[in-house]
A and B are shown apart, each in its own frame.
Chain A
Amino acid sequence: MNRARPVETLLAALASFTVSLPLLTLFDANTWVRPTALMIAVIALVGLGLRSVTPTAWIVILGQAAAGVLAVSWLHGRGHLYFGVLPGPDTVNSFGILLGEARETVMSYSVPVPTERGVVVAITMLVGLTALVVDATAVTLRAPALAGLGLLTAYLTSATNSGDGLSWHYFALPITFWLALLATQGIGTVRRWGTAVPRGADGGESDPVLGVAGAARLLGAGALVTAIVLPTIVPHFPTTFVADGLGRADNARGGGSVTLNSTIDLRRSLENQSQAPVIDYTTSSSTPEPLRVGILTDYRRGEWRTQFRADRTVTPGPGTVTADPDIARTEAQFTVQDNRLQSPQIALPTPLVGVELDDATLRESFTGAYEVDRTLEEYSATYAQLTPKDSDFGTEGPTPPGWEQGLYSEIDDRSVERLSELVDSVVPEDSTPLETARLLQAHFRSSQYTYSLQLPTPTDPVSGRQMMADPLSNFLISRTGYCVQFATAFIMAARLKNIPARMAIGFLPGTFAQGVYTVRAADAHAWPELWFPDLGWTRFEPTPGSRTGGAPSYSLIPTETGPAATATPTASGAVPTPTPSQRPDTDTETLPDAETTSGGPLTWLTDNLLAIGFVVSLVLSLLLVPVAAWMRRRRLRNAARDDAERVEADWAALISRLGDIGIAPPSGSTPRQAGTQLTHDAILSGESKQAMGRIVATVERARYAPPQASLDDVSGDTKTVWKAAASARQRSDRARAYLFPSDGMRQWGDLRADLARWPREAWSRLRRR
């Protein structure tokens, strides 16, 4: 037998490589494949070489790890090495920077992530680590079953991050290699057993309950049934909601982003064919508003993000509407009947006047975006529908918070040239902000633009070649896109004209049926909000009407002399919806905070009910066998009709328990021989040895002495012996003896046999009758 185990090494390396292939779906370029393949090869070859030299496992593993570090350094750390060869602190520093970059990239981009240098380094290291773990467990330590864990971890890392279902090929390949690995090792193990393995004289299996083969068959059948039944009874997991993708829903970090490239998550939401409702709601308004989920303020390198966390607890009231009190308004009621949007996200119409959230806490960010601390099934809100006149869009007044810091004015440099061309051609030089917004909206909603989820790659008009520009420029050239592109272009154009603008994301009002509005994943939407001093943040709708329906009436260019903005909100489909929002005063902040966060231990319990239930059932299932064993021993002891039978029960229990820790008397031995053997094997001495002697003497007298002899109670002595014997064993043996006593298995086996016998007996009784 070759100690280096080349076949198994090859299989382990192939398994490691194929398990990293799902990463292809996560990154936009495949530059990482070659270094990772090289890395896996290095680890496999070094392992092969070291194994043929030394049988000591840890030397092999250390050698592989060292080779892996060297390989990574040579691949990615050139220029930071001592003498161009050895890695040093400088190398570690450079890798730290690279990995930081990688982390930043992975955190901020959605799939597929651009394959930067740092990302390649990170992938190489992680795949190398996977390969090392798989090789060490499967080949060096000869536990290929355990290697499955490493492979599964690597696979799941890819699978859970892809957001989409992975093709089954990605799973089939590594699993095939892993099974081959198992088989190779298994065959090798069987061969090492040698030939003549005598069976016991009785030929059968010694385990009275099931036997190894029986247990394996039962396990296999159970796994098969579970694999078939489970997917059929789990109906349809909730869809990946728009906002999950948009904000990447990372509550812990609060950062969120949406990219404007061709594969953003919002598109995935929009393309979602699922009919599963996200939100069912009723509203008193006949012209419902889009529901806002989040606000994004910063646009950088083709992606939207926000830097603000919702960190202040608020209770919205009439005072939170910042619009001038003179502006005409109606209050509308909004009631959600069924909400599947996961916390912290919550869909609400704006501006809020009041909200009813049960016991959940509403938090607000600096920008006025809302979050909740737990997912609510039902909630309701009151909001204001403003109907401003043209005169309400004044230019004098407060600026939005953060404006001085340049929060709502940033523009992507790469597209600024193309954008100003457009703005100059659409908006006259001396337009007011309202006119600017109206003109821009009319421009984007015109027939020059096409609404499409497929973003074409623009071609250069001169050379006819495909050209890659930044996403916004792409949109301005191709004039094709969906809400994100339209909103982005509108916001950038507004910012160019010095109007504060930001992106809101959420849902369109949804479809109306039988008094209920139903919002689905495909209703995901993004729209711009512009700041007007008297109104606050005001919604505009540059996305074409084929998708969004009518734009708010105040945003339309008045056709005749009549002021369109004076139209009553119910008269037309176009509804004025200014959406001012402002953060509450700081002094109102503390009170509701104290009120709403006083959940106490009871809330904690209810919140973690599932986890607690899982832990409790886990503990209970662990206790199943020990409790059965305890019950069996107790039952046998209580069923004893006299001293002799009680002593027998104690003796049988002792033998069985000692058997659990691997101490068993030879078959066909007398009590005395058994006692001698057990004393020797369990290394009993002193008190426990004498206890064993007393037990044996009592058992002998119980069995063979004249019946009138009275017998001592040996339960104390059996406890002494058991404790002494158990304390001399390894902890793992003890744990196994306590958790899976054979008495317990036998008890369950009896139960199974009884259950199997019951129908037959019932049937025969029935026939006799």
Chain B
Amino acid sequence: MSAHDDLHQTHTQPRTDLPPRQGAALDQVLQVASSLQSAMNSVIEGKPAAVRTVVTALLAEGHVLIEDVPGVGKTMLAKTLARCIDASVRRVQFTPDLLPSDITGVSVYNQDVRDFEFRAGAIFANVVVGDEINRASPKTQSALLESMEEAQVTVDGTTYSLPRPFMVLATQNPIEMEGTYPLPEAQRDRFMARISMGYPSARSEVDMLDQHGGRSPLEDLRPVTDAATVTQMIEAVRTVHTSQALKQYVVDVTQATRTSSALRLGASPRASLHLLRAARAHAALAGRDHVLPDDVQSVTIPVLAHRLMLTGESQLAHRSAADVLTDLLQRVRVPAPTR
């Protein structure tokens, strides 16, 4: 892969001809995001790809579903991100008896002012960590997901906007299915990306034992940025250029999932939108002011895999959605500008 790296290095003066303000904003994105990543990497050993995806989703205003077996650091990842940003953080432990109002908030009667008063729920925070989301009842899940989608909460006819930036990091355990309410496919679509942590390598695990043996490294973690900066960064990411050919490519990829014979359900138009936004953030993280097909390809699997439903045959053949997507990416032609 050295050739690949070299090719990247030859392209180090990307923004000389940009408006200075956009250039400065993107420089800030690059700088802050890399310090954010390095801070997170210091806690989450050996999972730079997962960290990168989380930061990408943060910059793309997306929510992340972390799905894996217990004890691999799902919650740790979510908490690390929350800790690194100087912003309001709420953590909700989902249980079967959790009520929707616990999430959204509730109007209570205030004796002093003789009126109903809104008590904000757990969702009113910049970063919301939803632990074991599949343990809550479908009704509660729906409440969370609706507010995720709209970035606002309506209680008793009054609409309350959620703070910016707003990001939900939900974790889910695919193994212990007893007494759980797995997220339906339609609900999963609301998450921009899904991450499977996977077990750390032996070496990373040893390092982790070293560091976490004494006390939690989370306690040493200092915030590297704040909510306002993140909002600025999100704004800057929105300015990243996407050419017509690239939009065509994004659509080609999602359409390929719809026509693939290995898939029962393809990606939705919302998936196309998420894919484009994630690619934009990915390009900004690489310090570029325009999106390349390579950006799209790098984020395709985390963005699309959890939305797809395999056919019975593919499942019998032990193919995963990621395998199918890898095949599709090799087949979809990268559109060149036509004249």
Q: Which of A144-152, A590-598, A670-678 contacts its partner?
A: A670-678
Q: Among A667, A680, A700, which residue has its beta carbon within 8 angstroms of that of B292? A: A700
Query: A708 contacts B17, CB within 8 Å?
Result: yes
Q: A704-B246, A709-B17 are in contact. Are A666 and B7 (CB under 8 A)?
A: no
In the complex, whether A497 has a CB less than 8 A from a CB of chain B is no
Query: B294 contacts A666, CB within 8 Å?
Result: no
Query: B336 contacts A689, CB within 8 Å?
Result: no
Query: A672 contacts B294, CB within 8 Å?
Result: yes
The number of residue pairs between A and B whose CB atoms lie closer than 8 Å in the complex comes to 84
How many residues of B are in contact with the other chain, CB < 8 A? Answer: 30
Query: B292 contacts A670, CB within 8 Å?
Result: yes
In the complex, whether A697 has a CB less than 8 A from a CB of chain B is yes
Query: A668 contacts B333, CB within 8 Å?
Result: yes
How near does chain B come to A709, taking the closest CB pair, in angstroms?
6
Q: Chain B residue with minimal CB distance to A667? A: B333
How near does chain B come to A137, taking the closest CB pair, in angstroms?
42
List chain B residues, Cβ under 8 A from A182.
none
Bound-state CA distance A692–B7 (Å) is 8
Q: Which of B124-132, B303-311, B324-332 contacts its partner?
A: B324-332
Q: Chain A residue with minimal CB distance to B16? A: A709
Bound-state CA distance A697–B292 (Å) is 11
List chain A residues, Cβ under 8 A from B294.
670, 672-673
Query: A704 contacts B292, CB within 8 Å?
Result: yes
Q: Among A645, A666, A696, which residue has its beta carbon within 8 angstroms of that of B339? A: A645
Bound-state CA distance A696–B289 (Å) is 16
How near does chain B come to A252, taking the closest CB pair, in angstroms?
63
Proximity string of chain A (672-703) to chain B, C-beta cutoff 8 Å, 1 when within and 0 when not:
11011001100000000110111011001111
How near does chain A come to B323, taking the closest CB pair, in angstroms?
16
Query: B7 contacts A679, CB within 8 Å?
Result: yes
Bound-state CA distance A672–B283 (Å) is 14
Proximity string of chain B (100-121) to chain A, C-beta cutoff 8 Å, 1 when within and 0 when not:
0000000000000000000000
Query: B293 contacts A670, CB within 8 Å?
Result: yes
Q: A645-B339, A666-B330, A668-B329 are in contact. Are A690 and B293 (CB under 8 A)?
A: no
In the complex, whether B3 has a CB less than 8 A from a CB of chain A is yes
Chain A's interface size range is 20 to 34
Q: Which B residues from 5 to 63 make CB contacts under 8 A with A?
A: 6-7, 9-11, 17-18
Q: Chain B residue with minimal CB distance to A678? A: B3
In the complex, whether A472 has a CB less than 8 A from a CB of chain B is no
Q: A668-B329, A676-B3 are in contact. Are A706 and B290 (CB under 8 A)?
A: yes
Query: A648 contacts B337, CB within 8 Å?
Result: yes
How near does chain B come to A592, taking the closest CB pair, in angstroms?
73
Bound-state CA distance A310–B290 (Å) is 87
In the complex, whether B197 has a CB less than 8 A from a CB of chain A is no
List chain A residues, Cβ under 8 A from B18.
706
Q: Among A668, A675, A703, which residue has its beta carbon within 8 angstroms of that of B245? A: A703
Bound-state CA distance A68–B148 (Å) is 90
Bound-state CA distance A701–B283 (Å) is 13
Q: Chain A residue with minimal CB distance to B334? A: A670
In the complex, whether A215 has a CB less than 8 A from a CB of chain B is no
Proximity string of chain A (184-224) to chain B, C-beta cutoff 8 Å, 1 when within and 0 when not:
00000000000000000100000000000000000000000
How near does chain A come to B14, taking the closest CB pair, in angstroms?
8
Q: Among B7, B293, B333, which residue has its beta carbon within 8 angstroms of that of A693? A: B7
In the complex, whether B318 has a CB less than 8 A from a CB of chain A is no
Bound-state CA distance A557–B3 (Å) is 108
Query: B243 contacts A703, CB within 8 Å?
Result: yes
List chain A residues, Cβ under 8 A from B289.
705-706
Bound-state CA distance A371–B162 (Å) is 114
Bound-state CA distance A720–B10 (Å) is 16
In the complex, whether A644 has a CB less than 8 A from a CB of chain B is yes
Residue of A641, A666, A675 contacting most chain B CB atoms (<10 Å): A675
In the complex, whether A425 has a CB less than 8 A from a CB of chain B is no
In the complex, whether A710 has a CB less than 8 A from a CB of chain B is yes
Query: B291 contacts A704, CB within 8 Å?
Result: yes
Proximity string of chain B (267-298) to chain A, C-beta cutoff 8 Å, 1 when within and 0 when not:
00000000000000000000001111110010
In the complex, whether A669 has a CB less than 8 A from a CB of chain B is yes
Bound-state CA distance A669–B335 (Å) is 10
List chain B residues, Cβ under 8 A from A670.
292-294, 297, 334
Bound-state CA distance A668–B18 (Å) is 30
Query: B334 contacts A689, CB within 8 Å?
Result: no
Proximity string of chain B (226-258) to chain A, C-beta cutoff 8 Å, 1 when within and 0 when not:
000000000000000111011000000000000
How near does chain B come to A567, taking the closest CB pair, in angstroms?
97
Query: A689 contacts B17, CB within 8 Å?
Result: no
List chain B residues, Cβ under 8 A from A648.
336-337
Query: A693 contacts B290, CB within 8 Å?
Result: no
Bound-state CA distance A666–B326 (Å) is 14
How near does chain B come to A115, taking the closest CB pair, in angstroms?
71
List chain B residues, Cβ under 8 A from A701.
290
List chain B residues, Cβ under 8 A from A667.
330-331, 333
Bound-state CA distance A449–B333 (Å) is 94
How near does chain B come to A98, taking the closest CB pair, in angstroms?
67
How near does chain B come to A206, taking the closest CB pair, in angstroms?
13
Query: A697 contacts B11, CB within 8 Å?
Result: yes
In the complex, whether B215 has a CB less than 8 A from a CB of chain A is no
Proximity string of chain B (118-160) to chain A, C-beta cutoff 8 Å, 1 when within and 0 when not:
0000000000000000000000000000000000000000000
Residue of A689, A700, A702 contacting most chain B CB atoms (<10 Å): A700
How near does chain B come to A190, taking the closest CB pair, in angstroms?
29
How near does chain A come to B97, taking the closest CB pair, in angstroms?
50
Bound-state CA distance A297–B333 (Å) is 85
Q: Chain A residue with minimal CB distance to B335? A: A703
Query: B3 contacts A680, CB within 8 Å?
Result: yes
How near does chain A come to B21, taking the closest CB pair, in angstroms?
14
List chain A residues, Cβ under 8 A from B290.
700-701, 704-706
Query: B245 contacts A704, CB within 8 Å?
Result: yes
List chain B residues, Cβ under 8 A from A704.
241-243, 245-246, 290-293
List chain A residues, Cβ under 8 A from B11.
693, 696-697, 700
Q: Among B10, B243, B293, which residue has its beta carbon within 8 angstroms of that of A697? A: B10
List chain A residues, Cβ under 8 A from B203.
none
Query: A694 contacts B245, CB within 8 Å?
Result: no
Bound-state CA distance A644–B331 (Å) is 25
How near does chain B come to A149, taking the closest CB pair, in angstroms?
44
Q: A668-B330, A668-B334 are in contact. Are A696 and B7 (CB under 8 A)?
A: yes
Query: B3 contacts A706, CB within 8 Å?
Result: no
Q: A668-B329, A670-B293, A693-B10 are in contact. Are A710 and B17 (CB under 8 A)?
A: yes
List chain B residues, Cβ under 8 A from A702.
337
Bound-state CA distance A446–B292 (Å) is 108
Bound-state CA distance A670–B6 (Å) is 16
Query: B3 contacts A679, CB within 8 Å?
Result: yes
Q: A694-B10, A706-B241 are in contact. Are A668 and B3 (CB under 8 A)?
A: no
List chain A residues, Cβ under 8 A from B332.
668
Bound-state CA distance A676–B297 (Å) is 16
Bound-state CA distance A670–B7 (Å) is 13
List chain B residues, Cβ under 8 A from A705.
241, 243, 289-290
Query: A201 contacts B331, CB within 8 Å?
Result: yes
Q: Which A residues from 698 to 726 make CB contacts under 8 A with B?
A: 700-706, 708-710
Q: Which A residues from 517 to 575 make CB contacts under 8 A with B?
A: none
- What are 13 A-B contacts defined by CB distance under 8 Å? A641-B339, A644-B337, A645-B339, A668-B330, A668-B333, A690-B10, A696-B10, A697-B11, A700-B290, A700-B292, A703-B337, A704-B243, A704-B246
Name A residues whose Cβ lies closer than 8 Å to a Cβ of B: 201, 641, 644-645, 648, 666-673, 675-676, 679-680, 689-690, 692-694, 696-697, 700-706, 708-710
User: Knowing that A696-B10, A703-B246 are A-B contacts, what are 16 other residue pairs whose CB atoms are under 8 Å apart, sorted by A's residue number?
Assistant: A667-B330, A668-B332, A671-B292, A671-B334, A672-B4, A672-B7, A672-B294, A676-B3, A676-B4, A679-B3, A692-B7, A696-B11, A705-B241, A706-B289, A706-B290, A708-B17
Which 7 pairs, one residue from A and one from B, show the smallest C-beta to C-beta distance? A693-B10, A670-B293, A697-B11, A705-B290, A706-B241, A704-B243, A679-B3
Name B residues whose Cβ lies closer than 8 Å to a Cβ of A: 3-4, 6-7, 9-11, 17-18, 241-243, 245-246, 289-294, 297, 329-334, 336-337, 339
